[in-house]
Amino acid sequence: MELLTPGLGLIFWTVLIFLLLVFLLGKFAWKPIMTMLNERERFIEDSLSKAEIARQEMALLTNENEQLLKEARAERDRILKEAKELKDQIVNDAKGIAKSEGAKMIEKAKKEIDDQKNAALAEVKNQVATLSIEIAEKVLRKQFQDGDKQDALVSELLKEIKLN
């Protein structure tokens, strides 16, 4: 049984060495280790709080960026709408001007056609009158060469005048 129960001296020296080891570890190892662990814990807490602050700032910046993007999109839409309205107005103005210019040109062309038509008709009338006079002159000259024919023509003309 001696092997199973240690001796009193062994227990004394084991306890003494254990207490000495605990004292030395407490003095030289655990204190610095605990200090380092506390510093590490503080560092981690500070890092987490800074990360939270950074996350909040990032969220704020993200919200500001989204707001700026919304404003930029609204501004872009407004500018595009104004540009479309201006384009439509310019197109409508151009169409109106083109219609009025076209109407003026058509009116001018009609007037020129009428003027040329009237001039051509006047020219034709003048030519017909001239030809008629020439033909009548030639006919009358032939008829007036014979005295009997002249008397018959004058009588016929007198009859027609009385009837009308």
pLDDT tens column, 69-122: 999 999 999 999 999 999 999 999 999 999 999 999 999 999 999 999 999 988
* pLDDT value at 154 more than 50: yes
Q: Which of 155, 159, 125, 131 is nearest to 143 (CA)?
A: 155
Domain map (residue ranges) of the chain: 25-163
- Name the H helices within the chain: 8-24, 31-144, 147-163
Is the pTM higher than 0.85? no
* pLDDT value at 150 more than 80: no
* pLDDT value at 9 more than 90: no
